[in-house]
Amino acid sequence: MSPGRQNATHAEIVAALRQGHSNLRIARDLHCDKHRVARIRRELGIPNTPLQPLTLEEKWASKTRPVDGGHLEWTGERAKATGTPLMRYKGDTYSPAAIAFEKHHGRPARGYVKADCDYPHCVAPDHVNDTAARESDRLRTRAERGLGDIPATCVSGHSMSKHAKFKADGTAYCGRCKVLDKRAQRDPSAPRRIRLLPTSVDEAFARHAEPAEDGHIRWTGRTSHTTPTVSFANTVHSAYKIAFRIEHGREPEGTVTSRCDMPYCVAAAHLEDRPMRQDRRQQERRARQQERKLDRLYARIFGSAA
């Protein structure tokens, strides 16, 4: 055998062909001419090895990269206009998010699959949802927040039993209004739908504050992380701060936090700003000191007798 293996033997090439390798791979491994490999393949009648030896899932996995926060970045092809990941496999185009969904749920996705996390176009199997899973997640969040029945009609009078859609925080919106809004954006001459917008931030707040049992006030509006929020005049406000100001007649100092165990409750009696938090903590400290003092006193009086 020559040192550079410029000429693999016929038997070596046959053995490699029988192992199912491609012409290109054999030529590379054995350092021989790929046309010679192809000729021997034809002579022996061994069918060509497909160039795509990876399974669909293997190809998917080879195009993903883990990133901080448990997300999965798609490193493969993307749709030019939207940046949406896509994957070609054996002549078909697949949604990498849909493959991720099936991997996690063990069933094919129904409807549009996308990630619910904040990483753009994430394809982590446990971060993606299809239309059906998204809807039931949102309805569960809605139930957990105690948001209850949806109104019969939206502010424009559309039937909500027909048009209601849900956001990730469980709040309902009118799908018909959304379609009309989009149409109006595209065509400024389209008739505008009549919507009675709140005229003040307090009114916007009041629309979503609903008295509940035990003095709680249930928040039916939007939320961001742990805070209920109100949008007014293109600004997002903390509903906690608005509730605080309405109750105390002054702007709060620092962050307003809730001490209530009902999520997003906006009852002013359950909220406190920074000075109130500091006062409470000081009182709690004093009470603890007093308790310790009494403990020591009792120990002096009764300790020796015990």
Q: Which two tokens stand for residue 12?
A: 């070596």
The residue among 109 and 262 lying less far from Zn ion, judged by its C-beta, is: 262
Stretch that binds Zn ion, among 10-18, 29-37, 146-154, 293-301 (CB under 5 A): 146-154
CB of 178 to Zn ion, least distance (A): 8
Q: Is 270 one of the binding residues for Zn ion (CB under 5 A)?
A: yes
Q: Is 174 one of the binding residues for Zn ion (CB under 5 A)?
A: yes
The residue among 21 and 163 lying less far from Zn ion, judged by its C-beta, is: 163
Nearest to 204 by CA among 227, 229, 181, 183: 229
**Looking at 59, 134, 138, 176, which residue binds Zn ion (CB under 5 A)?**
176
CB of 43 to Zn ion, least distance (A): 53
Instruction: Give the contact letters, 50-69, x = binds to Zn ion (CB under 5 A), - = no.
Output: --------------------
The radius of gyration of the chain from alpha carbons, rounded to an integer in Å, stands at 33
Alpha helices (H) in 45-199, listed in sequence order? 56-62, 96-105, 131-144, 160-163, 175-186
Instruction: Specify burial of residue 34 (Cβ count, 10 A radius: 0-12, 13-18, 19+).
Output: middle
Q: Is 216 one of the binding residues for Zn ion (CB under 5 A)?
A: yes
Q: Is 156 one of the binding residues for Zn ion (CB under 5 A)?
A: yes
**Distance from C-alpha of 175 to C-alpha of 182, rounded to nearest angstrom:** 11
CB of 6 to Zn ion, least distance (A): 51
Q: Is 173 one of the binding residues for Zn ion (CB under 5 A)?
A: no
Q: Is 119 one of the binding residues for Zn ion (CB under 5 A)?
A: yes
The residue among 6 and 75 lying less far from Zn ion, judged by its C-beta, is: 75
The residue among 36 and 193 lying less far from Zn ion, judged by its C-beta, is: 193
Give the CA count within 13 Å in the CB-facing half-sphere of 175.
9
- Strands, E assignment, the chain: 64-67, 71-74, 87-89, 92-94, 114-115, 128-129, 164-166, 172-174, 209-211, 217-219, 223-224, 227-232, 235-238, 257-258, 271-272
Q: Which amino acid is at 206?
A: A
Q: Is 158 one of the binding residues for Zn ion (CB under 5 A)?
A: yes
**Looking at 14, 206, 260, 268, which residue binds Zn ion (CB under 5 A)?**
260
Stretch that binds Zn ion, among 93-101, 167-175, 226-234, 248-256 (CB under 5 A): 167-175
Q: Which residue has the tokens 């927040």?
A: 145
Give the CA count within 13 Å in the CB-facing half-sphere of 166.
24
Q: Is 265 one of the binding residues for Zn ion (CB under 5 A)?
A: yes
Q: Do 93 and 87 form a contact (C-beta atoms < 8 A)?
A: yes
Q: Is 267 one of the binding residues for Zn ion (CB under 5 A)?
A: yes
CB of 160 to Zn ion, least distance (A): 8
Nearest to 108 by CA among 119, 118, 95, 120: 95
Q: Is 122 one of the binding residues for Zn ion (CB under 5 A)?
A: yes
CB of 58 to Zn ion, least distance (A): 21
- Positions that interact with Zn ion (CB under 5 A): 71, 117, 119, 122, 124, 127, 154, 156, 158, 174, 176-177, 216, 260, 262, 265, 267, 270
